[in-house]
Amino acid sequence: MLRVRGVTKSFGGAAALKGVDLDLRPGEIHALMGMNGAGKSTLVQIVSGVHQADGGTIEVGGRPQHGMTVRKARRLGISCVPQRRELAMGLTVAENVMLGDLPAKGRIVRWRTVRDGAREALTALGIDIDVDRVAGSLTVAEQTMVEVAREVRRGGRILILDEPTACLGAEAADQIRALVRTLRDEGVAVVYISHYIDEVMAVADRLTVLRDGAVVRTAPARELDPAGLVRAMVGRDVVSRRADRPAPEDEHGLAVQGLNDGRAVRDFSVEVRKGEIVAVLGPAGDAQSRLFDLLSGRRRPDSGTLRVDGRPVPFGRVRASLTSGLRCVTGDRRALGLVPALSVDENLMLAGDRFARRRLHRVAELARRAAPLRESYGVVTLAGNPPVGSLSGGNQQKVLLAKWLQTEPVACFLEDPTNGVDIAAMADIHALVDELASRGVAVLLASSSAEEVMRLADRVVVVSAGRTVAEHAVTDITRDELVATALGGQPQ
């Protein structure tokens, strides 16, 4: 169905792809694996017409294709559902599914036909969503399903899914994986990009591993085990173990009491000692997803108190939150964490320069001050000082962490700090969080990953339906018990 041979691509003299080959068969789930920056995004952008290859050939249905554009790729049945959803959030599900092909009589849209067509497209894939719902009211998983239905209805027979289960809870992720299997059974060729090793091993028929812009392995999924897949991706074994950190101090760095925010957060309380990591674990979209807005001052809760280093901090005021020594690192780095059009160095120094009230800088001086942060946080760029939006997800996340953590925080709130990063970058970020706690910083970690909680946290608070249902020292509970508590939501 799709045949790629010897594709090369460079940006600013730096090679992003080096003679890549890829074959895609009808009715196949083909996982594309690799570390952040390995070339996955560049390859799918070339296949879908966003970028032009410098060299190599692309065949679709046995016919060579030249001058690929997005419009031409769509005509050939190649569609992409990016990690960042692209629905019109103010329109209904029906309008989104039929967008660009609204049936009309003259200048009048035939709305009944719109709803019927959308309902038919969803039903064909086993999706049960009311077509009259507004897209903005859907869960992330439902938004993904609607985008997939739209692309299949448009004639997509080669579907590229980029991190389709990122930030989803277990149940929602299972729904997406079931949809992907349905697509395969319908004869659609699916390119599946994910950093979740276990997920890829469970869902993929074949996989291709990229490293440093080149293919290092293409094989049936059954021929690889998780450890072998990681070695192929990274070029070495990657192990992230619990670190031996100094015992936390008796003094509390962060204390939240009686926090209430509608039905999303109900009487939430937590205390974090200096040098301690406390995790808040819950299903995606539960209470922990509101904490960034509340603790950072972006949103004022209905009630509750916040103390940093023993001093009260008013809610609803970003400046007061920052002045207290609290640093809140968002899980949505694209929308809230970074300025994509600014350079890597500008983003790295953005918070530090704001605190120092530095408004002007020379480019050379900026590079000199940013260089130690690049090195200590492991930020890698293909060349020079590009816009941060052009970096891989793992490198963007490291820039975001460096931007805030270099400002000497007293306490820190981290929201899904390893979301959308590869296994090597995840190990690097875990080491950074360990080092942060070792410096005596009180760390509150919001996560939907039980594995990450067991790796990093000293204590874990489990939330369900906005309420705290359990609290444990990590040494007193197993990973399976923790998952069962989070899914069951029963007070213990």
Residue range 465-488, pLDDT digits in tens: 788 888 999 988 888 888 777 766
Domains of the chain: 2-87+138-234 (3.40.50.300), 252-488 (3.40.50.300)
Of 81-85, 108-112, 115-119, the one with minimum mean pLDDT is 81-85
- pLDDT of 325 strictly over 90: yes
At residue 300, the 3 state secondary structure works out as coil
| Share above pLDDT 70 across residues of the chain, in percent, rounded to a whole number | 96
- pLDDT of 105 strictly over 60: yes
Instruction: Report pLDDT for 492.
Output: 40
Instruction: Report pLDDT for 285.
Output: 64
Of 335-349, 377-391, 398-412, 451-465, the one with minimum mean pLDDT is 377-391
Of 128-132, 273-277, 361-365, the one with minimum mean pLDDT is 361-365
Containing 460, the helix (H) or strand (E) segment is: strand 459-464
- pLDDT of 275 strictly over 90: yes
Model pLDDT for residues 219-265, shown as the tens digit of each residue = 998 888 888 888 888 776 666 677 788 888 889 999 999 999 988 89
Q: In which region does residue 393 sit, left (phi positive, over 0), alpha (psi from -120 to 50) or beta (all else)? A: alpha
Q: Are 397 and 385 in contact (CB under 8 A)?
A: no
Q: How far apart are CA 294 and CA 298, in angstroms?
A: 6
Q: Are strands 189-193 and 108-109 parallel, antiparallel or unpaired?
A: unpaired
Return the structure tokens found at 134. Answer: 């507004």
- CA 261 to each of CA 221, 279, 316, 447: distance values in angstroms, whole numbers, following the listed order: 45, 20, 12, 19
Tell me which DSSP letter residue 165 carries. Answer: T
Cα 256 from chain centre: 27
Residues in the chain: 492
CA-based angle 12:14:18, to the nearest 5?
A: 130
Model pLDDT for residues 121-154, shown as the tens digit of each residue = 898 888 889 999 998 888 777 888 888 888 888 8
- pLDDT category at 489 given cuts 50, 70, 90 is very low
| Share above pLDDT 90 across residues of the chain, in percent, rounded to a whole number | 36
Query: Strand ranges (DSSP E) for 206-333?
Result: 206-211, 214-220, 252-261, 265-273, 277-281, 303-308, 311-312, 326-329
- pLDDT of 491 strictly over 70: no
- CA 264 to each of CA 17, 258, 270, 318, 350: distance values in angstroms, whole numbers, following the listed order: 45, 13, 16, 21, 32
Higher pLDDT, residue 31 or 196:
31
Of 10-14, 192-196, 266-270, the one with minimum mean pLDDT is 10-14
Tell me which DSSP letter residue 248 carries. Answer: P
Summarize the confidence of residues 86-97 as an average pLDDT.
90
Model pLDDT for residues 31-88, shown as the tens digit of each residue = 998 887 788 888 989 998 888 999 999 998 888 888 888 889 888 989 888 877 778 8
